[in-house]
Each structure stands twice: as structure tokens, then as C-alpha cells.
Chains A and B, each alone.
Chain A
């Protein structure tokens, strides 16, 4: 298989992390995940209401509206 090499110029400084930092980051990423319950609680506190709902249908054309219902 043909392989292309792409050389990326970074616009940020790359620093090498030691193992401890990496493991901390992984732990932090894990903690970032929000459960649906947490999210629902957040949305409830932020004032979410049902009228925010986007209409979805298996008939994708209907999602863009119906001329005469």
C-alpha cells in the first residue's frame, strides 16, 4: 500500500510528559465524562424545556417540513 508522509508544522510547543502526568490526564479525561443523569440534572437546572425539541423521523424528508398537514 502506498504511504504518504505528511509533515505537520505545529504552532504550539510540544512538551514531553512523564508517566505520572499522562496518567493524571487519563484520569482527568475519565472524570470529564458526563452521565445522562448528570446531564439531565444540569439541563433541568439550566431551565431546559420540551419546546427545545428537534423533530426527528424515519422519513427524513418530513424533518424539513410538510406543505400541508
Chain B
């Protein structure tokens, strides 16, 4: 590059660049913003490394997952399949709102805005935000198609259901639960009156006939569920699972996202960022450590003109969710109303939540 900041590319390269830019959200933005985004894709290395590393963690957790499944099996046989849930056509429900527990929910009062709206589509809560949603007035009495999703297999999920307000509304909530969910968590949800619908989380299906996904499916089919259960990609987290549930299980053509930041605010404490929100006072790297910028890149969201910081786990989640949205069928529209965060790109429309509620009343 010369002092004038000029450089040469051949015509074919330029055509490819132009095509890439015009087919992205950057069509009407500057070349600088497009380059910035392309360069940030260097961070893909971390998610790829994480895919390998997480596999090792999974091998440690495998026994617990199998034990959970065994503890749930009698209930799975007695209770419903998530495959029974698709919305009936005569209800004319076309859209779903997925609620994650990202910081944007509080920042933009999205729960309060939703509670005051006349929205009549499906409300799909991730388990971690259920209590807060109900307390904010987002409840099944106001939104009759009200769902909660749990895919994490850990005993801590029980705490998410252990609240009076969940007992109050439980009977009107449909729980879409993973067959690997901790049985005590499922028990607590059941005690609150939540009507449970089961599905399989895919994790080792690719290993063939002797994979646990296959074996578990055969065991479920042995009684009552002869057609089996639906199986979903969890994307590694309940927010992505809820997005899959909305179009794959509930058959909604439009899925909007609130509280799905998959990233941190720039002013969040380093301890919070480095412990992936566990607030554990764990600070592994100093901010000035050269590795810090690699592990925690700051990215620009061109839809909302905001920045966010990704920890490695959010890089992994974010890349996976964006990939799956880009691969979703053409009749599925994903609208990110989080108003920030890391979810933007192919097949994702960024929209302010108020606008979404105006345009998609059901």
C-alpha cells in the first residue's frame, strides 16, 4: 500500500468483493465497515478450537446425561411429545418471540414493552428468564401460547423453576424439555403444573446406530411414543434451542429474538466477561495481555450500530446461531429485536422491538 492508501486488486477479485458486500447487510454501508466485519472473522479460529475442546468436556459429562435420561424415561413414556405441539392453522399464529436473558432485556425494558403489547403470537421463554418474564407481566394469561424451554442437563436448572410465581402460572405453561434434563428440575417444573412436552437434544447422532441419541430414541419408542420424538440442534445453549423450537416444533414462519445478545456490553465488568457471567471474580487475563484481545474481540453490530464484546463461549454460540439462521429454510424469517449484541448477518433482519410488535401483531 502506498502513502495514499491505495491498492490494486484484479477485476475478478473486485467483482467477488462487490458481490459479497451487496449480498450482505453491508450493501448500503461503507467499504470500511464491510472490511472491519470481514477482518473480525479472524475470531472464527476460537469457536473452531472450542468445538474441539467442548467435546472433551462432553465426554466428562456423558455419564450424567445418561443417568438423567434414565430418571426421565418413565415420565417421557407417560407425557407428551413436542411433536404434538405445532400450532393449529385455525389459530393463525404466524410468529414467535424468543426471550433470552441477555442484558438488552433490562436495558430496553423489552419485557415491559411486550407485557403492554397486544401481541398474540407464541412466546418462547428460555428457562433462565421465565421467572422475570412472569413478574414483568409476560405470562400465559395474557399470552395464551406460552412456552418455556430447557435443554441444559444440570441440577441447577431446578432452581430456575423453584419460584412461587411459576407455581401460580405453571398450569398454563407448556414446557418443552430435553430428554437429558435433570430429573429433579423436571420434577419441580411438573410440581408447578407445567405441562411437559419432550424432545431429544442432538449430540452424538452422527456416531450411528450405537450412539446414545439412537439408543435413547429406541427406548422412548418402546412405549407409547412409537413415532419417536422430534430431535433438535441445541446450538449449545437454550436461546438457540428456543429459536429452533419456534420454527421446527411450533412451525412459526417468523421468529423474533429479544435478550439474545450472545455478547457483553462494553461497560460490563471484566470479571463478569471472563467468567462467562458466573460473577466468580475469576480474572484469568489482564486487559493488557495480548491474548485478551484475541479471546475477547469487540465487534460492531451494523444493524443497530452498536458494539459488543464476545467471550470465547459467546463466539462459539454466536457463530453457530448465525450459521444455522443462514442455513434455515427460505420461508423462515428471523428478526433480531435484541437491539444490540452479536447476532446479525445473512438471513437476519435487525428491527427495533416496538417496530416488530407493530408489524407482527400475531
Chain A: residues with CB nearer than 8 A to chain B?
1-11, 14, 28-29, 31-32, 34, 36, 39-40, 42-60, 62-69
List the A side residues contacting B4 at CB < 8 Å.
Answer: 7
Chain A residues with Cβ below 8 Å from B11 are 1-4
Closest CB of chain B to A47's CB: distance in Å?
A: 5
| A4–chain B nearest beta-carbon distance, Å | 5
A56–B229 Cα distance when bound, in Å, is 19
Which of A36, A50, A62, A65 is B58 in contact with, Cβ under 8 Å? A50
Q: B151 touches which one: A47, A51, A69 (CB < 8 A)?
A: A51
- A9 shortest CB reach to chain B, Å: 7
Q: How far is the CB of A14 from chain B (nearest CB, A)?
A: 7
Q: Are B32 and A53 in contact (CB under 8 A)?
A: no
Partner of B51, one of A3, A49, A56, A60: A56
B103 sits at the interface (CB 8 A): no
- Neighbouring A residues of B237 by C-beta, 8 Å: 52
Report the minimum CB–CB distance from B104 to chain A (whole Å).
21
Residue of A14, A63, A65, A68 with highest tally of chain B CB at under 10 A:
A65
Whether A46 and B54, one on each chain, are in contact in the complex, defined by CB atoms closer than 8 angstroms, is: no
Chain A contacts of B291 at CB under 8 A?
A: 31-32, 34
Report whether A62 and B206 are in contact in the complex, using a CB–CB cutoff of 8 Å: yes
Q: Known contacts A6-B14, A49-B61: does B290 contact A28 (CB below 8 Å)?
A: yes
Interface string of B173-210 (1 = CB under 8 A from A): 00000000000000000000000000011110110000
Q: Are B230 and A63 in contact (CB under 8 A)?
A: no
Are the C-beta atoms of A2 and B10 separated by less than 8 Å? Answer: yes
Given A10-B5, A14-B5, A54-B235, A47:B280 Cβ within 8 A: yes
* Cβ-defined contact, B294 with A34, below 8 A: yes
For the complex formed, measure the closest distance between the CB of B305 and the CB atoms of chain A, giving whole angstroms.
Answer: 15
Of all chain B residues, the one with the shortest Cβ separation from A60 is B327
Please, which residues of chain A bring their CB within 8 A of the CB of B7? 5-6, 8
Interface segment among B90-98, B128-136, B311-319: the answer is: B311-319
Using known A-B contacts A32-B291, A39-B312, A54-B233, determine if residue A4 contacts B57 with beta carbons closer than 8 Å: no
Which of A1, A9, A51, A69 touches B217 (beta carbons < 8 Å)? A69
Q: Contact: A51 with B153, CB < 8 Å?
A: yes
Closest beta carbon of chain B to A37's beta carbon, Å: 10
The residue from B3, B203, B227 contacting A55, defined by CB atoms under 8 A apart? B203
Flag the segment in B160-168, B270-278, B352-360 that touches A: B270-278
The answer to whether B229 and A69 touch across the interface, beta carbons within 8 angstroms, is: yes
B6 at the interface (CB under 8 A from A): yes
Q: Does B228 contact A (CB under 8 A)?
A: yes
